[in-house]
């Protein structure tokens, strides 16, 4: 026990506390600034050609050297240095090299992109768009909601509605063969598939923040209960060689090592806690806090949380936990994060890059609407990209580092 305790301390010695105090922070909601998250900010307009036109509901993912855009059922790859278009990666369809969904995942070295192919394959492409094979996952568990590919294994997260599986995470070798699983963290819910009254789908970060960037499924049950899930939301991530995992309605982030989960940090929601066994209840939860999204780098933990999740008046918050000082700050997502470095429009995060940079993507129409209200911005040397920018161009990707 002493040995285990000492190992846990060494794993967590880069943070000042293993507790992020949400309950107290809710009493002091503030205005967050870009300088709270980094020392510099970059604006990368994505090249616009007929071969890579991006729609206004696209998803951005930023790697160490590349920007991945999932748009119009197609996946595009851009150069992170200058926004130049590199290639289209794969295609949807039924042929052997096609994928079922353009939602992508990458390996630890970021040499390949992987895509779901029903019923049991990940289709693999290199960064030039060349088909590079597939990985087959025997059923069960079959395809998962989220994937983390390390140098040694593939970890899969299995979410869904009333899943018949008795595990949350599965561990595979690089061929897809199942090695091990973890027990369920969530208690069983009373509703079954036959209790569903109706299902609807919403998409867009303005609704539920980063958590529902790729879409949220809203389930109404006949007993007047409700459940909102985001099937492809990021639940697994890698920070400096450490693999983390966060389950919905569980206020603990876990470290994963050799298939074993150990607590890394816990969100103290106190009197605002939403018990996992009441996750479908609409009663008494208007003020309860749902920790929806978590990511991190070596300096801070970025997270989002939601109050009133099942109401039309729900509020999304951006959260920052400073690992060195232990300080926690909360700000309303609707207020954005003030760009106090360049004076550009308020920053609204979409995701965190694999290098630990906070990322936002803004479509050209929104940018030009802001410029019309702030014409002096075109004379700002820090916003030089605006001089040749127009509302028919591809979006601009903003990176805080």
Global pTM value: 0.94
pLDDT in tens, the chain (401 residues): 333 343 444 445 468 789 999 999 999 999 999 999 999 999 999 999 999 999 989 999 999 999 999 999 999 999 999 999 999 999 999 999 999 999 999 999 999 999 999 999 999 999 999 999 999 999 888 899 999 999 999 999 998 665 567 899 999 999 999 999 999 999 988 898 899 999 999 877 688 999 999 889 999 999 999 999 998 899 999 999 999 999 999 999 999 999 999 999 999 999 999 999 999 999 988 999 999 999 999 999 999 999 999 998 999 999 999 999 999 999 999 999 999 999 999 999 999 999 999 999 999 999 999 999 999 999 999 999 999 999 999 999 999 99
Is residue 6, in this structure, part of any structural domain at all?
no
Is residue 11, in this structure, part of any structural domain at all?
no
CATH number of the domain to which 396 belongs: 2.130.10
Question: Helices (H), strands (E): how many in the chain?
Answer: 4, 28
At residue 375, φ and ψ (nearest 5 deg) are -60, -25
Is residue 5, in this structure, part of any structural domain at all?
no
Is residue 396, in this structure, part of any structural domain at all?
yes
* Beta pairing, strands 131-136 & 196-202: unpaired
Is residue 61, in this structure, part of any structural domain at all?
yes
Is residue 192, in this structure, part of any structural domain at all?
yes
CA separation for the pair 246, 124 (Å, rounded): 26
The torsion of the CA quartet 285, 289, 293, 294, rounded to 10 degrees, works out to -150
Domain of residue 379: give its range: 16-400
* Beta pairing, strands 19-21 & 260-268: parallel
The answer to whether 87 and 77 have CB atoms below 8 angstroms apart is: yes
Is residue 379, in this structure, part of any structural domain at all?
yes
Is residue 329, in this structure, part of any structural domain at all?
yes
Counted domains in the chain: 1
């Amino acid at each position: 026990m002493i040995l285990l305790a000492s190992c846990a301390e060494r794993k967590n010695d880069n943070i000042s506390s293993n507790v992020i105090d949400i309950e107290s922070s809710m009493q002091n909601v503030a205005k967050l600034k870009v300088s709270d998250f980094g020392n510099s900010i970059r604006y990368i307009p994505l090249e616009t050609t007929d071969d890579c036109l991006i729609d206004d509901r696209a998803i951005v993912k930023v790697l160490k050297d590349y920007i991945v855009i999932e748009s119009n059922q197609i996946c595009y790859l851009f150069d992170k240095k200058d926004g130049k278009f590199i290639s289209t990666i794969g295609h949807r369809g039924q042929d052997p090299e096609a994928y079922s969904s353009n939602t992508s995942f990458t390996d630890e070295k970021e040499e390949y992109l992987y895509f779901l192919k029903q019923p049991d394959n990940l289709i693999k492409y290199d960064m030039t768009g060349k088909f590079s094979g597939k990985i087959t996952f025997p059923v069960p568990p079959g395809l998962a909601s989220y994937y983390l590919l390390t140098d040694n294994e593939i970890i899969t997260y299995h979410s869904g509605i009333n899943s018949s599986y008795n595990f949350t995470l599965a561990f595979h070798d690089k061929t897809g063969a199942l090695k091990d699983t973890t027990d369920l963290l969530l208690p069983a819910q009373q509703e079954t598939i036959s209790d569903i009254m109706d299902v609807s789908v919403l998409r867009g970060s303005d609704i539920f923040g980063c958590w529902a960037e790729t879409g949220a499924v809203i389930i109404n049950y006949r007993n007047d209960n409700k459940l909102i899930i985001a099937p492809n939301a990021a639940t697994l991530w890698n920070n400096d060689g450490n693999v983390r995992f966060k389950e919905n309605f569980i206020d603990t982030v876990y470290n994963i090592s050799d298939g074993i989960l150990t607590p890394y940090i816990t969100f103290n929601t106190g009197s605002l806690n939403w018990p996992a066994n009441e996750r479908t209840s609409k009663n008494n939860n208007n003020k309860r806090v749902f920790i929806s999204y978590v990511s991190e780098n070596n300096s801070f933990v970025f997270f989002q949380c939601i109050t009133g999740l099942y109401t039309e008046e729900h509020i999304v918050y951006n959260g920052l936990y400073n690992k060195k000082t232990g300080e926690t700050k909360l700000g309303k997502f609707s207020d954005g994060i003030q760009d106090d470095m360049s004076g550009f429009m308020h920053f609204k995060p979409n995701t965190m890059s694999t290098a630990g940079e906070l990322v936002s993507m803004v479509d050209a129409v929104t940018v030009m609407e802001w410029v019309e209200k702030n014409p002096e911005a075109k004379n700002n040397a820090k916003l030089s990209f605006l001089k040749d920018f127009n509302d028919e161009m591809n979006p601009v990707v903003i990176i805080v580092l």
